[in-house]
Structure 1
Amino acid sequence: MRCLVEGEGPPVLLVHGFPMGHAMWRAQIASLSGVRIIAPDLRGFGGSELGVIHEGQGVSMERYADDLAALLDALGVDEPVVYCGFSMGGYVGWQFLKRHRERVRALVVCDSRPEADDEDGRANRLKMAEKVGEWGSAMLAEAMTPKLFAAETLENDPKLVAWMADMMGSNSPQAIAAALLGMAARPDVTGDLADFDLPTLAICGDQDALTPPDVMRGMAEAMPKAEFVLVEGAGHMAPAEKPVEVNSAIEKFLESLPPIG
C-alpha cells in the first residue's frame, strides 16, 4: 500500500474518499502540525495495487479496514491513532472502529454517514460498477464532479475542480468498480453509534448534497462524545473547498484530546 508519512507526534490517519487518493488531503497534510500524518492510498487507488479481485466481487469496507491495520503494523505504529475519514473513508472508519477498536484514539468523520445505501442508491452503485469499464474513469469523474462541490466553488475555483476530476479519472475502472460494489454492500452502523463512545468530530459542508448536514448532525447527536461542525460555503468536498476552516476545526479537536496513556 502506498502511503505518505510526514511529521512527528501523535499519529493521525487520513483516509480518502471515493474515487480519490491520499492527495485529496493536500491542504491538511501541508498545515496540520505537531502530529505524525499517515495518508495512505486505499487498495487500487492512487499508487496502491488493487490485488486479485474476482469478477463481480468488490472490496468490502472491512477489507479496506484490515488493510489499514496491516499498514499500521508495517509502519510500527503501536499507539492509537486519530482516524480521520472522508466520505468512503468514513465508511471504512466504522469498520476499522468495530474491528480494531484498540487502535483508535479518536475519530474525525468528514462528509460521511452511518447508514447503508437505500434501494435506489444501491442500484445506482451497481449500475456504475457494471458500466465504468465501458464509460471509462474520466467520464465517471466528469459526471461526479458537479455533485461534489458548492455552487460557488464550481464557479470561482475551476483549478480545484479540474484537479479533483483529474485525480478521480486517473484511477482504474477495476478499482472504481470494486469500491462501488463494496460500498453497495456495506453494513448499516446506525444502531452502533451509541456504542462508539470515543471523542468524535463530525465535519460537514453546509451545501453537501451527498451527505446533508442534517444527516451528519443526527449522527453526531447519536454518539456519546461527538461534536458537529458546519462549514459554510462548502459542498461535499469540505476539506478541499474550505481548508482553513476544516483545519482549524481539526486542530482544535486534536488539542482537546487527553494525552495518550
Structure 2
Amino acid sequence: MTLHHVSVGDGVPVLALHGWTPDHRLMTGCLEPIFTQHTGYRRLYPDLPGMGQSPAGDIDSSDGIMAAVRAFVDEQIGDEPFLLIGESYGGYLARGLVAERPRQVLGLGLICPVGTLWHKDRVLPEHAVLRTEPGVLESLTEGEDFTDLAVVQSAAALAAYRSDVAPGLAIADTAALERIQKNWALTTAPESGPPYDGPSLIVCGRQDAVTGYEDLWGLLPHYPRATYAVLDVAGHNLQIEQPALFGALVSEWLQRVPTGGRQLV
C-alpha cells in the first residue's frame, strides 16, 4: 500500500505519524513552524491507512497499519537514518517502529502519546477548561466539537483546530477504523525489546483527558535519554494550546539528536 503523504524540505529524514482519526495536517500544522527555524531536514508526513487520503484497503488491525508504515519507510527512506515523531496513536506506532529499527532511528519524539492502549485502563485527569477568550464559544458553528477536548478556548487554538485537526476528522473512514480498532494492539508490544538509548522527548498535557500523563512515566526506564515534560494548561491538543513551549522542547530535542556530522541549525 502506498500512503498519501506530504514531503517538505531536504536533508535528514523526519517521519511524523499523526494520531487516530485526523490526518497529516495534525503534524504539519504544529511541526512546520518549528522546522522553518531548523534547516537540513526532509519532513515526511503520511496519512495513515483509513485516514486522510490513504485508503484502508483490507487492513483490519494495528499490525496492518504498522506494515503499511514499515513499507512507507522502506520506500521513502530506505536504510538511511531518520528522526521519528508520533502523536497519540501515532506515538504508539512510533514506539513499535523504534523497537524494530533502534539503530536506524536517530531520535524519538512523542506528543501526547498513547501509553496504556485501552482507554478504560488509563489513569486520566478530569477534563478542565482553564483559559477562555470572549467570543470564541459564540463563534463556533453547529456541530463543531472543538470544546470536547479544549483546555484552552482561544481564537488561536480554535483556528489551529480548524486547520490542523477538523479536516482530517471529517474525511476519516469511520467504518474501517472501527474494524481496525477491534485488533488495536500490536502483536509485538513496543517496549518488549531492549531499551532505546537514542535522544528522546515525551511531552504530555497535564489536563489531557484522552491519554493522560501518569501512564507515560512508566515508560522512562525504556528510554534512558528521554526528556519527560508535563505541560500545565494543556490537553490532548497540547501542540496548539502551548505552541511556544512545545516548539522550544522540540527544538531542544533536535539539538540533542546526532545527524551524522551534518551541519544543521
For the superposition of Structure 1 and Structure 2, which TM-score range results when normalised by the shorter chain? Answer: 0.7 to 0.9
Post-superposition shift, 1:190? 7.6
For normalisation by structure 1, the TM-score amounts to 0.77
Once residues 11 and 81 of structure 2 are traced to their aligned partners in structure 1, the CA distance between those partners, rounded to angstroms, is 12
1:92 aligned partner? 93
Specify the code of the residue in structure 2 equivalent to 1:29: E
- Note if contact 1:198-1:225 (Cα within 8 Å) is conserved in structure 2: yes
Counting aligned pairs with the same residue, the percent is 24
Matched, 1:37 2:43: yes
**RMSD in angstroms over aligned alpha carbons?**
2.8
The residue aligned with 1:124 is none
Amino acid in structure 2 at the alignment position of 1:255: Q
Give CA-to-partner distance per residue, 1:87-146, whole Å, 9 cap, x none. Answer: 00011112212333343111111111333326668xxxxxxxxxxxxxxxxxxx967x54
AA aligned opposite 1:48: S
Name the SS for the 2:58 alignment partner: coil
Structure 2 distance, partners of 1:224, 1:191, is 13
Alpha carbons of 1:76 and 1:155: their partners in 2 closer, same or farther (altered >3 Å)? closer
Could you tell me how far 1:153 is from its partner in structure 2? Answer: 2.8
- Which residue of 2 is the match for residue 50 of structure 1? 56
Tell me how far apart the structure 2 counterparts of residues 157 and 95 of structure 1 sit (CA, whole Å): 30
After the TM superposition, which residues 218-229 of structure 1 pair with which residues of structure 2 at under 5 Å, given as runs?
A: 218-229=218-229
1:5 is aligned to: 7
**CA deviation map 1:140-169 (0-9, x unaligned):** x967x544331x237874334444234212
Could you say if the C-alpha distance between residues 252 and 177 of structure 1 is closer, same or farther in structure 2, counting changes exceeding 3 Å? same
Counterpart of 2:26 (choices 14, 17, 24) is 24
Per-residue CA deviation, residues 216-250 of structure 1 (Å, 9 max, x unaligned), is 23323553221112233211111233222212211
Check 1:147–1:80 CA distance in 2 against 1; reply closer, same or farther (3 A cut): farther
CA displacement 1:156-192 (0-9 Å, x = unmatched): 7433444423421221222321342243x34684863
Against the structure 1 CA distance between its residues 258 and 76, is the aligned structure 2 distance closer, same or farther, given a 3 Å change threshold?
A: closer
Cα contact 1:20–1:168 (8 A) shared by 2 = yes
Residues of 2 paired with 1:222 and 1:153: CA distance? 35
Map of 1:1-261 to 2, 5 A cutoff?
1-25=3-27, 26-32=29-35, 33-34=38-39, 35-53=41-59, 58-60=60-62, 62-117=63-118, 146-150=147-151, 152-153=152-153, 157-163=157-163, 164-183=165-184, 185-186=185-186, 189=189, 192=192, 195-260=195-260
Quick one: structure 1 residues 188 and 229, their matched pair in 2 at CA, closer, same or farther if it must change by over 3 Å?
Answer: farther
Unaligned runs of 5+ in 1: 122-140
Aligned mates of 2:91, 2:218 — CA distance in 1: 15
Please, which moves more after superposition, 202-211 or 160-169? 160-169
The corresponding residue for 1:132 is none
What CA distance in whole angstroms lies between the structure 1 residues aligned with 2:200 and 2:121? 30
Cα distance in 2 for residues equivalent to 1:248 and 1:113? 22
Between 1 and 2, higher relative CO (CA 8 Å, sep ≥ 6) is seen in 2
TM-score w.r.t. the length of structure 2 is: 0.76
Q: Could you say if the C-alpha distance between residues 194 and 100 of structure 1 is closer, same or farther in structure 2, counting changes exceeding 3 Å? A: closer
Q: For 1:118 and 1:245, how far apart are their aligned partners in 2? A: 27
* Conserved? CA contact 2:99–2:193, under 8 Å: no
For residues 67 and 99 of structure 2, what CA distance do their matches in structure 1 show?
A: 11
Give me the whole-angstrom Cα distance separating, in 1, the residues matched to 2:220 and 2:114. Answer: 10
